[in-house]
A and B are shown apart, each in its own frame.
Chain A
Amino acid sequence: MPNLKQRGIDVYNWFEQRLGLGAPVIEAAEHEVPSSTSSWWYVFGSAATVILILQVMTGILLALVYTPSASDAWNSLQFLNHNVQLGWFLRAMHGWGSDFMIAIVLIHMAQVFLFGAYKFPRELTWIIGVFLLLLTLGMAFTGQVLRFDQDAYWGLGIGASIVSRVPFIGGPLVDLMLGGPIIAGPTLTRFFALHVFVIPGILLGLVGLHVWMVLRLGINEWPMPGRLVSKKTYTREYHQLAEKTGIPFVPDAAWKDAIFAAAIMLAVVACALWFGPFGPTGQPDPTIIQTAPKPDFAFLWIYAVLAYLPPSLETPVLFIAPTLGICAMLLLPLLSGEGEKHWSRRPVADLMIAVIAVTLGAFTRLGMYTPWSPIMNAWTSDPIPPTYLHNRTPLEREGAIVLQNKQCRNCHSIGGAGGMRGPALDSIASRMTEDQIIRQVLQGGGNMPAYGNALNPSETTALVRFLTTLRGDDLSPAIDASRRLALSSEKQSAPSSGH
């Protein structure tokens, strides 16, 4: 046995003499870090790196089968799902890995921001991190395109429509993005090149720089309230801290990274096993228009924002807001590179994280159930509650049929079934008088189209009669306050004019 051990050491030395990599790697692994950084808060960066490796590996394995051709990509995904041994699992791992990666990268970024880790001398580490976030999102979008299904096809349409709004060069940019006049074969191949070669290449290079800078500058120490960062003294103070409380990164601090990375990997595996792969949904055939395209989870909030912007603000907001946001993130460490690091002394930073998180969360939640989208088949299938038809006149019941036939249900719900674009109609008569309902139906207004051309007078009468019976749980009907005033003033003036 000792002979075997000696043999192993000899082999290592043979390589080490020629490569010379072992010593610096061991040195880097064992470098001293402040003991305060051995924390469960410091595990997200390494976890993101581990998931990146998972994504590269599963991506290469998927590329063994995937066919980046507009006519065959969808079929090759079905083939992966159903015909290739464990192909579905690899697809599921890659898909869930991407969701986890975005989540971990965002958490990592928030942690770094709250801990003031972007301050001197780690400004460039943060700036490169911002680019890593953008590249990660780029991977998510291009990956969604490679899952070449209906959502991918129309997602490209949404992308092209957004790009077309760029002033002056929008047209050429769309051509550049699509690679041709329409979304077709050349579009898929260029997104394949982006997803498989261009973005991962840049991503891996920048991750290398990012990690190199963490090693070179040292991991950010646990911030203490009142311990201010000054460019003159920080480096010396950090080294004193590292000397005084230093522990070797491997193994004293790294075990937490390793445990967390393993937990995350297990979570990805569990999600992949439990929920399976993402799609593909319907075939990428633009002639099948019975679809409600939706982007992947990471972009749902943008999808929601685009539903709520008024038309005149849309293009400016679409381009100015992201530019400002990215510039702010890039400039952050340059403008506030010194001073307080601790979150308890940086209320604005805390507030920003809270507001951004709540905003993204709220818009993502809205994007999940898209209340602004008409439900395209609600009019054919959703029932009208029997109580709304009970004891109604034939005309009122006729109105219920008009409501169904004229597809009002696509945007308005009754009895909890139907679209949410317009208000629910269950208690409409308690909010609007008959005159107001007639006017709203015929002329539209707000978010409602005018139905004057789609309804004949008898249909209008029937519909309005039905709507005036909808008063929720017998709320009192809406009344025109001014009419009563007018009537009473007429009554008052009537006797005087009679004289």
Chain B
Amino acid sequence: MIPSEPTPPSDQVTTTDPAANPTNPDSTNPKTAGHSRRVFLFKLSLLVNGAVGAVLAVPILGYLLGPSLKKSSSENSWINLGPFNDFPEGETRLVNYRNPVTTPWDGQTGDIPCWVRRVSGNTFQVFAINCAHLGCPVRWFAQSKLFLCPCHGGAYYADGTRASGPPERGLFEYDHKISGNSLLISAGKMPTLATQACAEPPLTQIEGSPAVRLAAIEQPKSRCSSCQT
């Protein structure tokens, strides 16, 4: 439709003319004299615009894909959770920290909670708040010694291993260290199955005879906590 705008209706007649009278050369008609040249120039203009488009696409794609091109290691940094003696031995507590990477307009969303378990002495476990199933916030129940997820009922034992429900692995754990008096964790990125994938095959429901079940429970394996270190 657009090409028909600049060309007058008589153009249609001239284009059929050469077919009807092949003896009539194009050059005799002033309207078609420069036709092939203009077609060439139009194609050239398409080419130029294609090149400009390709040049423009580089910064646009770079801008768009920027967040996913960052190396994830650069987003984690050591965060101080406070003096480690503030955590009673044998207890699991909720601790909030300010994410190391935030924007000024992040507001409350930049505050991230995590579960700190002081097993004994200098032995700690720091779990992400996000359920390994779909990222909902798990809650610690001290009496039944379970983490429960409100979304789909994923349950984890005190050491973060999977107890039951839809999660295919245990809770995500942050790397931690004790520096001086303080407990530090390496965090900054929302943990997901993509960043903290577990090498072990997913644990399905324990099935089979009671003896097999008993054997599975009597030999507790440190699931996933080993493959993250």
Contacts and interface: CB of A to CB of B under 8 A. Distances in A.
Interface string A174-209: 111011111111100000000000000000000000
Interface size class of B (residues with CB under 8 A): 35 or more
Interface stretch (B19-27, B49-57, B78-86, B150-158): B150-158
B92 interface: no
Interface residues of A, number: 73
A439 B192 CA distance: 35
Interface in B151-198: 151-153, 155, 157-158, 163-168, 188-190, 192-195
A314 B105 contact: no
Contact of A405 (B106, B111, B143): B143
A286 interface: yes
B44 interface: no
A406 B206 CA distance: 23
Interface string A230-253: 000000000000000000000000
A374 interface: yes
A357 interface: no
B202 interface: yes
B113 A289 contact: yes
Nearest to A442: B217
A70 B96 contact: no
Contacts of B64: 176
A182 B203 contact: no
Interface in B186-229: 188-190, 192-195, 202-206, 210, 213-214, 217
B18 to A, nearest CB: 34
Interface stretch (B32-40, B65-73, B118-126): B65-73
Contact of A70 (B109, B145, B148, B205): B109
B151 A311 contact: no
Nearest to A411: B153
A interface secondary structure, majority: loop
Give the one of A166, A292, A452 with max B CB within 10 A.
A292
Interface in A447-480: 447-454
Interface stretch (A27-35, A129-137, A302-310): A302-310
A172 interface: yes
B204 A171 contact: no
Contacts of B141: 407, 410
Interface of B is mostly: loop
A45 to B, nearest CB: 27
A474 to B, nearest CB: 30
B151 A164 contact: no
B144 A451 contact: yes
Nearest to A186: B103
Interface in A267-321: 283-287, 289-293, 303, 306-307, 309-312, 314
A72 interface: yes
A157 interface: yes
Contact of A160 (B72, B163, B192, B214): B192
B107 interface: yes
Nearest to B107: A71
B136 A69 contact: no
Contacts of B60: none
Given A71-B106, A157-B136, A373 B193 contact: no
16 contacts: A70-B103, A71-B105, A158-B134, A158-B135, A160-B192, A171-B72, A172-B68, A175-B70, A181-B189, A286-B108, A287-B94, A287-B96, A289-B113, A307-B153, A449-B146, A449-B164
Interface of B: 64-65, 67-70, 72, 75, 94, 96, 99, 101-103, 105-113, 129-130, 133-139, 141, 143-146, 148, 150-153, 155, 157-158, 163-168, 188-190, 192-195, 202-206, 210, 213-214, 217
Interface of A: 69-72, 153-154, 157-158, 160-162, 164-166, 170-176, 178-186, 283-287, 289-293, 303, 306-307, 309-312, 314, 372-374, 376, 379, 405-408, 410-411, 421, 439, 443-454
Given A312-B202, A451-B144, 10 more contacts: A157-B130, A161-B193, A175-B68, A175-B70, A287-B112, A289-B139, A406-B144, A410-B141, A449-B146, A453-B158
